[in-house]
A = this chain, B = another copy of it.
């Protein structure tokens, strides 16, 4: 299993901190936004004398609440079409285990969220990448191009929309490409929609659940982690209208007994949060994105697209080895004893050699920190190129 690009430089960051340096974490999608108080208040009022097993499918009251949440987004679901998981992570492993046999393949546009590699190893399946490019604004290739990758072992196509790590938002046209292919080849479509609320244009998110005619093919993976800044709760969702898929998923869910009970209780009030919550969050992330983008524009030699969603951006640097540069920032560079940590992007690609000169920024820190980070990045890059070379 390849090591995670998000965590592989952690030792250097720890060493920098041990030397008394402060590290701004632009490498990992851990939001600094407060978890809504309505959730942590649940803890203060906790009454049950026994922290007992819940049902394997999830707490009925949370599933009811989720039905209501999706209804607000015009996605009509029945209770039995929802299964609560241990984070989005378990939902993805479940999809790969339930819908694929060991040795089967899943197509995924690269660059992709690096932990998909780990989930594929756990499920014993292979990832075949569909390469998307910065020059094409990370669009999916044409149908014929994608189709070339579909072989006898291909059982699914998985997307992340909005995309981590590119920030790309796939619209209806692009989704129709893969729906066409899923129907033609009778394969599954997995859609990781954990960033569904994070679309900066204000456009409505297009879910694969919106396509009534694809319902036998579609499995959606979701999570409260980013949306409600509750990464540590480990609560995700596995959704499908395909009855056989849900039955098989429930068998796997029964083996691991249940998702954490108190975390589910804490997630219930999220489903009825005032819309203003998202308006505020989104405006905060948009400010950060605009700040990052405006600063990047002032630096010569960079290539990037303005991300439409999520809170990530891939930047192509004028250096040969972006991992070396990201390591150097931690080991050798600082301004006022402060430096930044970035994720080298090669780990987000499955094809060897791609992404070697790219890094991913996660704009999850407040505007003051982001401003300082961009200064450190800019000066660090100039310094690196002028002293170390490319």
Instruction: Give the nearest-CB partner of A29 in chain B.
Output: B53
Rounded to whole Å, the gap between the CB of A17 and the closest CB of chain B is 14
Instruction: Give the nearest-CB partner of A89 in chain B.
Output: B256
Tell me if A240 is interfacial: C-beta within 8 Å of chain B: no
Count A interface residues, CB 8 Å. Answer: 57
Choice from B44, B86, B93, B261 contacting A46 with Cβ under 8 Å: B44
Query: Once the chains bind, are B51 and A231 in contact (CB under 8 Å)?
Result: yes
Choice from B51, B258, B263 contacting A230 with Cβ under 8 Å: B51
Tell me if A54 is interfacial: C-beta within 8 Å of chain B: yes
Instruction: Give the nearest-CB partner of A94 in chain B.
Output: B122
Chain A residues numbered 263-289 whose CB sits less than 8 Å from any CB in chain B: 263, 266
Rounded to whole Å, the gap between the CB of A60 and the closest CB of chain B is 12
The count of identical subunits is 2
Tell me if A262 is interfacial: C-beta within 8 Å of chain B: yes
Query: Once the chains bind, are B260 and A122 in contact (CB under 8 Å)?
Result: no
Contact bitstring A5-44, B, C-beta under 8 A = 1, else 0: 0010000000000000000000010111111000110011
A124 cross-chain contacts in B, Cβ below 8 A = 102, 124
Choice from B50, B102, B258 contacting A35 with Cβ under 8 Å: B50
Choice from B40, B52, B53, B256 contacting A90 with Cβ under 8 Å: B256
State in angstroms the CA–CA spacing of A263 and B117 once bound together: 27
Instruction: Give the nearest-CB partner of A6 in chain B.
Output: B254
State in angstroms the CA–CA spacing of A31 and B53 once bound together: 10
Given contacts A34-B49, A232-B261, A262-B263, contact A89 B255 (CB under 8 A): yes
Q: What is A's interface to B at a CB cutoff of 8 Å? A: 1, 3-4, 7, 28, 30-35, 39-40, 43-44, 46, 49-54, 56, 86-87, 89-90, 93, 97, 102, 115, 117-119, 121-122, 124, 229-234, 248, 251-252, 254-263, 266
